Amino acid sequence: MIVIPAFQPGAPLIATATGLRARLAAPLVVVDDGSGPGFVDVFRAVSTLPGVTVLAHTTNRGKGRALRTAMQHVLAVHPAAIGVVTADADGQHAVEDIAAVAGVLCARPDTLVLGSRRFGPGVPVSNRLGNTCARWALRLITGRSVSDAQTGLRAIPRGLLPALVRLRGARYDFEMEVLLWACARRVEIDEQPIRTIYAGAPSHFDPVLDSARIVRATVRFAVTSALGARRAVITS
Ligand SMILES: Nc1nc2c(ncn2[C@@H]2O[C@H](COP(=O)(O)OP(=O)(O)O)[C@@H](O)[C@H]2O)c(=O)[nH]1
Ligand SMILES: [Mg+2]
């Protein structure tokens, strides 16, 4: 199953969905996260492709909520799916890279696969800084290192989904929570190098608010884990 959370997408979503359906057998779930009446045509075009389901939130609830809506749908409607592959709606992920990440999950269905960007000069400084902070926090809290902690292209094994749909992050913080959770539970992680396409689509990431949400989710996770470990020591 491929999952694309989408908020006010443009033509790149249609191109990505068309490319995916031509290339992969896996069905596609697109979540319209309260994009509004101006985007009806884009979602209608996507929904006419065979093998595509469009789910909708009536108001904008965030990337994390949209991913959870799609995961819940997969758990309920596609019990045989080996997992979900998440990709962005703005053309940032090449169809070949999405297919490659999906291919690793097919070969190793218990592995969390990250499509990792190389942070060359084309990547905005704020993205690089945010990613460095996220990698450090991940390492400090779980002892594990990944090269791209904020990639939206990931293949997630089905076995993880019931726990992930219970996480709390509503926006970009959800993706940090997923990594913290998987690293802390010693889930095997594989990183596949991917291209980084910044086609000039406007970002929905609010540097102040969304960074604060990610910090909050990280601190919450660290405190909860530390309390859990302390309780385990006391009761053992
Ligand atoms: N469902 C949903 N998806 C979102 C929202 N904001 C961003 N996204 C998705 O997250 C992807 C990455 O967001 P984007 O704004 O491009 O962030 P950036 O690439 O990190 O600057 C987009 O392609 C969308 O698919 C949102 O509020 N709701
Ligand atoms: Mg983007």
Specify the ligand 1 atom closest to the Cα of 66: 1
**CA-to-CA dists, residue 132 to 19, 38, 150, angstroms:** 32, 36, 10
pLDDT band of residue 125 (cuts 50, 70, 90) is confident
Nearest protein Cα to ligand 1, atom 5: 63
Task: For the chain, list the strands marked E by DSSP.
Answer: 2-6, 28-33, 52-57, 83-86, 112-117, 154-157, 189-194
C-alpha atoms less than 13 angstroms from C-alpha of 181 in its C-beta half-sphere: 19
Q: Say which ligand is closest to the CA of 200.
A: 2
The CATH superfamily label for domain 2-235 reads: Spore Coat Polysaccharide Biosynthesis Protein SpsA; Chain A (3.90.550.10)
Ion ligand 2 nearby residues (CB, 5 A): 90, 92
Predicted structure pTM score: 0.94
To test the pocket of ligand 1, the residue of 43, 85, 148, 204 to mutate (highest count of ligand atoms within 8 Å of its CB) is 204
What would the pLDDT profile of 132-181 be if each residue is shown by its tens digit? Answer: 999 999 999 999 999 999 999 999 999 999 999 999 999 999 999 999 99
Domain ranges of the chain: 2-235
What would the pLDDT profile of 68-116 be if each residue is shown by its tens digit? Answer: 999 999 999 999 999 999 999 999 999 999 999 999 999 999 999 999 9
Residue 79 identity: P
CA 163 to chain centre: 15
Asked whether 162 and 79 are in contact (CB, 8 A), the reply is no
